[in-house]
Structure formats: structure tokens, C-alpha cells
Structure 1
Amino acid sequence: MSPDERPRERLIEKGAPALSNAELLAIIMRTGTGSRNVLEIANELLQSVEYSLVRLSAESIEFMMEIKGVGLEKASTIAAAFEIGRRFALEKARTDGQAITGAEMIYNMMIPILKGLDHEECWVIYLNRANYVIGKEKIGSGGMEAITFDNDAILLHALQKRARGIIMVHNHPSGNPRPGKADIEETETLRTALRKVRKNLVDHVIISDDKYFSFADSVVTPVPDVKKFLG
């Protein structure tokens, strides 16, 4: 059996969860070159991003093609595989028509969107009287440590959607989800503005890749099994 065939054989015998990231990547790329087998190419590609699938998923086709043995076809196939995985995770995490029961559910809903970003994004989830999700949207973005959003726009959209409550969600690319002074001040400003129009700020959840902070719970919660939310 050639080295190129071994990852596929292991997948058939052991199942996909038993394979390493390099073996799965090798199956996606299918074949090696005359001088290098596909597993060697897969390992070098992973090494170029310090073995991080999150980083690899964010890289361009041109970046992947810098690795010897990775041509346009292989790089395009890898990019397509990551996009399918991302869309699957988003579909799996949809909670429209479900009642929000806590911060963990919010994390599960938003981590496929916010994981691995190198900038902050702020999202709003709109809820009806029974805390069922009736919509969500991105309302702001910023750099590594700052974010801007328009409270008036949030109020307007909440009124248009006839939402009774909202949840604000944003990420901290630094990996530390604890709120800073600006986070606390902005949360209180939004809470006050919502009360004036008889709306409720149900929670503000700050997300990092493997943990989250909930203003409602006032605690940081680690999520050791984060991979399950990404399919």
C-alpha cells in the first residue's frame, strides 16, 4: 500500500475521529508528488501554521500554495472543505425558534461565528417575550482591543422586530473574556437606554475561543469541549 493510501485505509478501518489532523488533511489533498507523499505535504502545511486548524482555515489559497506540493487544486479543495465545515457549524448552532436558557446556549450559538477572529465583532440577538430567538445581526466591529456600535440602531431594530429583550455578544481576540472598564460602561449605557423603551438587556456575553463571560452570571466559564460545537 502506498503512503498516499494509508490515511484513507485507516479512516475506513478506524473511523474519522481516530485520524490525526495531518491524516485528514492528506485525505482531502488525495495525492502527493513524485518526491513527497501526501502525508509529508500535509504535515508541512500544518507546521506552517503551528498546527492550528483555525489559522489554516483563515489563510489564503496563495499562502497554502507556497508549500511545495500544494497546487491550486489542492489549496482550493482545502479552502472548500473549511467553508463546508464552517457552514455546517453555523447550521448546527442555529437557535432561531428556540428559547434561550442561559449563557452556554448563547456561546454555542455564536462560537462558530466568532472563533479565531483577529478583531472584535459585536452581535445582538433579539428575543420575544418568552426569550425565543427572533433574529440576530452584527452591529459593530473594531480592532484587537476596541469595538464601536450604535445604541440608537440597536433600539430601532429592537422596536422594528418587536423584541422584548436583547442579548449582546462580542468576542475578545486576546483570549481573556473578562470585561474591561469600557465593556462595563457600554453595557450599563445600553441597559439604561433599553429600559427607556421598555426593553430588557437579558445578558451581555463576551466570548473567547474556549471560555466566555456572562454579565448575567458574573462569571467566566471555561468550555473544555469547544470542538464539539464546531462539528
Structure 2
Amino acid sequence: MAITNQINRGYLQRKVKTLGIESLSDQELLVLLLLPKQDVKRANQSATAIMTDVCSLRGLETCTLHELRNWLQEDYLQLAAPLELKRRLLTTRKLTLGQMCSSKTAGQYLLPKMQSLQQEVLLGLYLNTKNEIIAEKEISRGTINSANGHPREIMHLAVKYAAAGFIIAHNHPSGDPTPSQSDIQMSQRLAQCGQLLGINLIDHLIIGDGKYLSLREYNVLPDLKYAD
């Protein structure tokens, strides 16, 4: 968004009072966050620089402290703090007995971790007989549309952690969690490998933008239920 007139505090306060804070554009919200530390001109310049690089506020979720410092210099904590607060609020507490009992539980756990990643990442959750996560491992990280993981790597970790079952998940940076044919084939192959080793593939989740898809519920995996 090009700034023709600098966004100032009075304008933002009036807009919030009249239309609600949800009415602010991404850039206006950034300016509001930066104004306590920066003057109007600098806050507008900083917001413009950030939006030029990340395009939308969702892109900030995967930014590093180094990137924030490059944009904001000594004022980087103005954004680092609310981003960290959001991460903590969205991150589910460590799952315990009985909680990993459905694709919904797994999806709600993984969604805040993976929905904003700009590359495809393949993640493995390894479970004990009580459905507790005993290990959470990034298996591979790929390009914007591919993250290859060989079944050998996935099953090696399952054996290493003496898992009773495992869940794999990967994100689609496009935001659309619809499975590809290769996603389906990989899931079926992993299920077969798991059956041979007695370590069941509980689910394969695909994480999109604000939503996820369970290949267990998509009915492409052998008949197997989450443990009660």
C-alpha cells in the first residue's frame, strides 16, 4: 500500500473508535504498534519497508530477530514482543495422556506451528502407548512447494524413540491443504512400512492457511483409529 498521506495517531484513533480495530489495514496496524517509539514519519517509513518485504502481516510470523533489527534498529522489540506473545497464546501446551486422540486435536496442535511457514516442512510426531508425544522432529525442509522425506528417515526415528505410533504433517505454503497424488502415495507407503514394523501411522496432516486436512479422515489410509 503506497502512503500518500502519513498515517497519524489521531486518524488511527478515530478509525478504531468508529469502525473497530479490525478495520485497520495491515500497514495501519503496524504504524499503530510503532508510534509509541517512533515519530509519525519514521513509523510510516518503517511500516512501508516491512510491508514491501513481507506483503502481509502473516509473513511476520516467520521473521527472525535479525530481520526485525534490520527494519527497526533499536526499536525491534516493538514487534518482537507482540509476535512472541501471539506465538505463546496459539501454541498448545505439551500434549499429555488422552489428548492426542483425534485428527482435530493433532490439527489444532500443529496449525499455529506450521501454517505460516514459507517453505514446505515435513514434521514427525512420535507417540507412546498413552498417546503422549515423546519426540517431535523436523524430518525435512524443502522449497516453496516440495519437502521430500524418505520413509527410511521417518521409520528410523520411530524405531529410535521406540514409538508405538506416529503422525506426520507437512504444510502447503499455497494455503490450500488439498492432498496431491504424491501426498496420498507417500501416506500409503508409510502406512505399509509402519504395519511391517508394528508402529502404526496414525495420521498424515496437511496444514494450510488457517485450516488443515487429515488423510485419515480423507479415507486414504488403512482402517485404524486414534487410540482412546
Question: What is the TM-score when the length of structure 1 is the normalising length?
Answer: 0.71
Where does residue 83 of structure 1 map in the other structure? 84
Q: Which AA in structure 1 matches 2:41?
A: R
Q: Are 1:143 and 2:148 matched, yes or no?
A: no
Cα distance, 1:43 vs structure 2: 6.0
Cα distance, 1:72 vs structure 2: 1.1
Instruction: Check whether the contact 1:128–1:164 (CA below 8 A) recurs between aligned residues.
Output: yes
Q: Which AA in structure 2 matches 1:102?
A: S
Matches of 1:73 and 1:6, distance apart in 2: 26
Where does residue 96 of structure 2 map in the other structure? 97
Cα distance change, pair 30–136 in 1 and its aligned pair in 2 (3 A) = same
Q: Which AA in structure 1 matches 2:209?
A: D
Cα distance, 1:161 vs structure 2: 2.2
Cα distance, 1:140 vs structure 2: 1.2
Cα distance change, pair 47–199 in 1 and its aligned pair in 2 (3 A) = closer
Question: What is the TM-score when the length of structure 2 is the normalising length?
Answer: 0.72
% identical equivalent positions: 23
Q: Which AA in structure 2 matches 1:123?
A: L
Q: Are 1:55 and 2:59 matched, yes or no?
A: yes
Q: Which AA in structure 1 matches 2:58?
A: V
Aligned length: 205
Where does residue 118 of structure 2 map in the other structure? 118
Matches of 2:166 and 2:112, distance apart in 1: 20
Cα distance change, pair 57–194 in 1 and its aligned pair in 2 (3 A) = closer
The Cα offsets for residues 77-119 of structure 1, whole Å up to 9 and x where unpaired, read as: 32343234324433xx134314312222112111222122111
Contiguous gaps of at least 5 residues in structure 1: 65-70, 220-231
Q: Are 1:132 and 2:132 matched, yes or no?
A: yes
Q: Which AA in structure 2 matches 1:61?
A: L
Q: What is the RMSD of the two structures over their aligned residues, measured on CA atoms?
A: 3.4
